[in-house]
Amino acid sequence: MNLSGTPTEMDLSGVLTRLRLELLARLPHRLGELHRALHRAQRHPAHVHHAHKLAHNLQGTVGSYGFPELAEILIELERMLDPTRARSDDDWTAIRQQFERAQQVTEQLRQE
């Protein structure tokens, strides 16, 4: 940090490492929020907008933080939650499986 308390290029890598660790620590909570939104959306299709928005935000964030594998899984999940189309029971099974992949990769990242 310089005298004004803002990060300089020299210590940016330390700041980014800290931000990445903080995001990893919060990811289970973020995924829990998404899991609850998926449950609500399956019972009440009007709620799919919220689940779609959560997946959309999360994929943009994890990708920008340098977690491309997790971002790809969430991009696909966002696509599966497209609010403009209806979903069958099979679609919801695929959505749950995709969500479980996101959980597994998150757990791997947290253990690295």
Partner 1 sequence: MTKIAKVLLIDDEDDICSIVKACLTALAGWNILVEHSGEDAVPLAAREKPDVILVDVMLPGIDGIATFQRLRDQPATAQIPVIFMTAKVQKHELSRYLSLGAAGVICKPFDPMTLPQQIRARLDAAAGALS
Minimum distance from CB of 42 to partner 1 (Å)?
22
Contacts to partner 1 from residues 41-60, by CB under 8 A: 53, 56-57, 59-60
| Contact indicator for 77, 102 with CB cutoff of 8 Å | yes
Nearer to partner 1 by C-beta: 14 or 93?
Answer: 14
Q: Which stretch binds partner 1 (CB under 8 A): 4-12, 37-45, 85-93, 95-103?
A: 4-12
Check residue 21 for interaction with partner 1 (CB under 8 A). no
* Structure tokens, 42: 């399956």
Contact call for residues 80 and 92 (beta carbons, < 8 A): no
Instruction: State the number of binding residues for partner 1 (CB under 8 A).
Output: 24
End-to-end CA distance of the chain: 27
Residue 82, SS3 per DSSP: coil
Which CB sits closer to partner 1, 38 or 58? 58
